[in-house]
Amino acid sequence: MQPAQFAVFGHPIGHSLSPQIHRAFAQQFGIALDYRAIDVAPADFAAAVQRFFAEDGVGANVTLPHKAAACALASQRSLAATRAGTANVLTRLEDGQLAAHNTDGAGMVRDITERHSVDLRGHDGLLLGAGGAAHGVAWNLLDAGVETLTIVNRSPAAADALADAIGEPARAHTRYWEDLADLGSFDLIVNATSAGVLGGSLQLPFSLAGARALCYDLSYGVAASGFLAWAKTAGARYAIDGLGMLVETAADAFELWHGKRPQTDPVYAQLRRQYS
């Protein structure tokens, strides 16, 4: 009997840890699965996804740059996917249609509050970026009790659109990127930009990081190294990459597909050793 088929779609995708993570989860339960990485350009994404599910694909993770397209492909969307307008999980329904989910924000909050034992309630947060990654976590930060969220993006229109979508002007508002040096300090700074992934740097003023600040990069490994180095130099209390978030979001997808909740700590520890 052929193992159930799963995949992760992205462009590029060779760096993805998702196959390793899902295989490790499957081993915890003795589940046989075939999980592979599929590199597909944006123009070919929809056709590639439809072909995968037509050939008995059960579920797929989706990463950059396809999350918005994934959400658009689905006939059903979870609340998180609907709010964000993006999806990182696609699941085939019994009628062959697709359901979209976004587990990014829930995974990030769980990593921060449970693995790193940081209470987000009452924090004044700065969200760097207003693209799909930022959309995927903004609502969850507010749901977790972050008091205010200042959204800053190089394109002000994108930041305004995210703040408008959130619809809580007293809690979520925007400022200009050029004004970063004048914003004062924050006790939560989330880097949701693609600068590190693209090999760039942000050149942030050190004044942004408060003495007890949590600085969190949604990416991991080399892509997060520049932001984390800045955070440590700025005197932040916590400088955390998104590796734990990746594992937690994968666990949500695994539970959705298999009905079983895997243990994330051993998998995180194994990956952390690889990236230490």
Question: pLDDT tens, 244-273?
Answer: 999 999 999 999 999 999 999 999 999 999
Domain containing residue 40: 4-102+247-274
Q: Say yes or no: 262 and 144 in one domain.
A: no
pLDDT digits (tens, 9 = 90+) for 34-56: 999 999 999 999 999 999 999 99
What mean pLDDT comes out for the span 168-194?
Answer: 96
Q: Say yes or no: 124 and 156 in one domain.
A: yes
pLDDT of residue 2: 83
Q: Say yes or no: 14 and 50 in one domain.
A: yes
Q: Work out the pLDDT band at 15, boundaries 50, 70, 90.
A: confident
Q: Say yes or no: 138 and 237 in one domain.
A: yes
Find all residues with CB under 8 Å of 205, minimum gap 6, and list them: 180, 181
pLDDT reading at 198 higher than 70: no
Give the residue numbers annotated as catalytic, written as ranges.
67
pLDDT reading at 194 higher than 90: no
Residue among 108, 146, 73 at smallest CA distance from 245: 108
Percent of the chain exceeding pLDDT 90 equals: 91
Residue among 212, 200, 271 at smallest CA distance from 239: 212
Q: Say yes or no: 147 and 174 in one domain.
A: yes
Find all residues with CB under 8 Å of 201, minimum gap 6, and list them: 195, 226
Q: Say yes or no: 126 and 191 in one domain.
A: yes
Q: Say yes or no: 14 and 81 in one domain.
A: yes
Q: Say yes or no: 152 and 61 in one domain.
A: no
CA distance 75 to 96: 10
Q: Say yes or no: 131 and 73 in one domain.
A: no
Residue owning tokens 């180095």: 229
pLDDT of residue 276: 66
Mean of the per-residue pLDDT values for the chain? Answer: 95
Q: Work out the pLDDT band at 89, boundaries 50, 70, 90.
A: very high
Q: Say yes or no: 223 and 124 in one domain.
A: yes
Number of structural domains found in the chain: 2
Neighbours of 190 (CB within 10 A): 27
